[in-house]
Structure 1
Amino acid sequence: MRPGPTTARLILGVLPAVPTVLALAGTLLLFSIFPLLQGASATDAIGLIFKGAFGSSFAWQSTLLRAAPLMLTALCVALPAQVGLIVIGGEGALALGGLAAAVVPQLLPSGVSWLVATPLMAIAGIVAGAVWIGAVGALRQFRGVNETISSLLMSYIAIALFKHLVEGPLRDPASLNKPSTLPVPDALTIGPLPGLEMHWGLFWGVLTCIAAWVFVRHSTRGFAMRIVGGNARAARLVGLPVSRLALLACALGGGAAGLSGMFEVAAVQGSANASLLAGYGYSGILVAFAARQNPLAIIVCAVIIGGIEASGSLLQRRLGLPDATTLVLQGLLFANLLAWEALGGRIAAWRIRLQAIAATAMPIQLEKTHA
């Protein structure tokens, strides 16, 4: 049955979300087997996941606390993806961004205002992440090194460098069993949002995702990036600076991940230590794929994945399931997302047909307006 123009426009609006919705449904179906093998109820497990993520104000606080860095690390994947690069090194950029931000207060004179110190910490974190992931883009463009492999390996190098500096030259002598840098002065720590128990990282995470969407969808360079991502050879033929755009996308993504490290240091941990390496960079990969590299959708997907991570302890207490149960759920979700990506070609064909149907109403509307 051929849909009408209005129906076609409605379907076009929800069509991009179809693979993600199908992946979520398939994930829940497969995940229900896991608690059954452990002697627990599948419906109880799924219900507790929802309760642990969104069932109370405390649950929402835990969810949003995890969602804030996920939004920024997901951009480390989503922005390079606009030029066709698959970068998965957000964990390393986060670690170095947090370390750079932790060092800034040590270099400033005592008593400096937070109005000066906090922006400098943010800039240090952004620059550290941008340089690290920008190097991945440079290796890809100028040496032909696969960006997926190089970003993963450079993430390991960044983590090793982070541990060496935190446990060695930058270690606070007062940190005994938990090596860390000198603590950020209380006057320079980032407090909660007014009326909430969430720090300002959530606000800046949402704002950065919105800004990234505006840049990608409504700017000349964002449009050029999407052309490069669609066909780099054609982009070169029309004179677009492919290498420069690829470096820009990688630097922006790395800067977002570095900013998340800064907020983890200044608003959560209070110093750079091993707790900074909580896997947000790796979870950000899942968020970006679930959002299909759409910066606006990243906000929603980050809250969902953050809620799944926050519910792990509740599953362990109530049903006796391992705390890693949520990791199983995330792994199944990632596998389902990859499986349903096969619909991409079919969805593209559907979109063309629906756009043609939706366009049939335009001449009628113009004629009425003219009359």
Structure 2
Amino acid sequence: MSDTVAGAPATFGAKGYPAALEWVARRAEAFVIPIVALIVGMVLFSLFILAVGKSPIQLYETMWRGGFGSWFSVQNSLSRAAPLLLAALCVALPARLGLVVIGGEGAIVLGGVAAAAAGTAFSGAPSFIVILVMGVAGMAAGGIWIGAVGALRHYRAVNETISSLLMANIAIALMNQLVEGPLRDPASLNKPSTQPLADIYRIGNMPGMEVHWGLAVGVVACVLSWVLIEKTRWGFAARIAGGNVRAAQVQGLAVGSLIVGFTGLAGAFAGLAGMLEVAAVQGSANASLAAGYGYTGILVAFLARHNPLAIIPVAFLLGGIDASGGLIQRRMDLPDATVLVLQGMLFVVILFSETLYGRFKAFNPDLWQRSR
């Protein structure tokens, strides 16, 4: 067979075409099925819009204008994508071990509260030190919270999906208790919050953009996560354990350490998202931290097939959809929660599409191998 370059067939002679088709078949399934699921979800959502007496074409046009139709809209979408990148990693990293962790919302709110408390405690120190301490505090809070989910799964066989969801609810209640109690700023009357951060401790925007540096942090986190999973022995061990835990244990892999380590890292990313929301957007910790980014991150991760690099464009897409909610409300007299209906339909269809992998012969490389 001809030599290959970057994994793809270099020549396409009589024997090269089957090799090329085999190469495409190995990779096409991961792209085609999510895209088809996305289209089906949008068709179902169009039927819902027709049922409430509105035009799907007008709605999608409005959604495009609100999320991607201008430079202002694009920047708004990128700002909303920033926490989604980190929230999606909270789902994608444990998924490589076969775990379904959906409690990233809890890690986000606790990360935000911990960062706000650290910022207040270290007020007066140099800005670089305070921002660094806030980041460490947010990551530690989120990492401990989701790492506990992994520990419960491995050592006590507690289902991680249920425990992470329940712990998210506990985290939101704990956040409310802290913000309305010992950490409350006496000046925050109508909307309880922590002490506001001084301007020098706030994270600003990237040059030439109205998008805070959290976007760059999220992109770097996705790239580093891909390197961890695909290029390191820990990532290889995680993939082995995710495929067959018993086989991994027979091979001597420390499955418990992998589970707790990957869930802890996943929670740390979500906690960092909460810190960025406080330091770059809100300026303090309050009820707005529970904005649903953790739950939207689930959809982002599943649509990206838990691939950290694919999370980047998918987060931008979902961020744009989320950003268009206000314009949809004003232009079409629909509630801004309409986009949540779309996200819900997409999530259901994507979950259903998980059952379709491996069922189509066109995506089976063996079909093209036999044709040589």
SS at match of 1:345: coil
- Provide TM-score, normalisation by structure 1: 0.93
Structure 1 residue 12: Cα displacement: 2.9
- The number of equivalent residue pairs is 357
Between the aligned partners of 2:328 and 2:25, the Cα distance in structure 1 is 37
Between the aligned partners of 1:355 and 1:227, the Cα distance in structure 2 is 27
Between the aligned partners of 1:17 and 1:353, the Cα distance in structure 2 is 19
- Provide TM-score, normalisation by structure 2: 0.93
Deviations 1:123-158 (A, max 9, x none): 110110000000000011111110000000011111
Question: Amino acid of the residue matched to residue 120 of structure 2?
Answer: Q
Is contact 1:38–1:321 with CA below 8 Å preserved after alignment?
no
Residue in structure 2 matching 1:316, options 329, 338, 357: 329
1:47 matched to which residue of 2?
Answer: 61
- Structure 1, unmatched stretches of 5+, are 361-371
Superposition pairs for residues 217-296 of structure 1, below 5 Å?
217-296=230-309
Is contact 1:80–1:246 with CA below 8 Å preserved after alignment?
yes
Between the aligned partners of 2:334 and 2:123, the Cα distance in structure 1 is 50
2:50 matched to which residue of 1?
Answer: 36
Is contact 2:25–2:365 with CA below 8 Å preserved after alignment?
no
2:158 matched to which residue of 1?
Answer: 145
2:88 matched to which residue of 1?
Answer: 74
- Structure 1 outlier segments of 4+, above 6 Å: none
2:128 matched to which residue of 1?
Answer: 115
1:95 matched to which residue of 2?
Answer: 109
Residue in structure 1 matching 2:41, options 27, 40, 61: 27
Structure 1 stretch displaced more, 54-63 or 7-16? 7-16
Question: Amino acid of the residue matched to residue 25 of structure 1?
Answer: I
Is contact 1:88–1:151 with CA below 8 Å preserved after alignment?
yes
1:363 matched to which residue of 2?
Answer: none
Matched, 1:299 2:312: yes
Is contact 2:28–2:363 with CA below 8 Å preserved after alignment?
no
Between the aligned partners of 1:355 and 1:324, the Cα distance in structure 2 is 46
Is contact 1:9–1:355 with CA below 8 Å preserved after alignment?
no
Is contact 1:8–1:357 with CA below 8 Å preserved after alignment?
no
Is contact 1:139–1:145 with CA below 8 Å preserved after alignment?
yes
Between the aligned partners of 1:168 and 1:354, the Cα distance in structure 2 is 64
Structure 1 residue 345: Cα displacement: 2.9
Question: Amino acid of the residue matched to residue 45 of structure 1?
Answer: L
Structure 1 residue 21: Cα displacement: 0.6
Is contact 1:83–1:225 with CA below 8 Å preserved after alignment?
yes
SS at match of 1:4: helix
Structure 1 residue 61: Cα displacement: 1.6
Question: Amino acid of the residue matched to residue 21 of structure 2?
Answer: T
Is contact 1:170–1:181 with CA below 8 Å preserved after alignment?
yes
- Structure 2, unmatched stretches of 5+, are 1-14
Structure 1 residue 216: Cα displacement: 0.2
Change in CA separation of 1:347 and 1:231 when aligned onto 2, cut-off 3 Å: farther
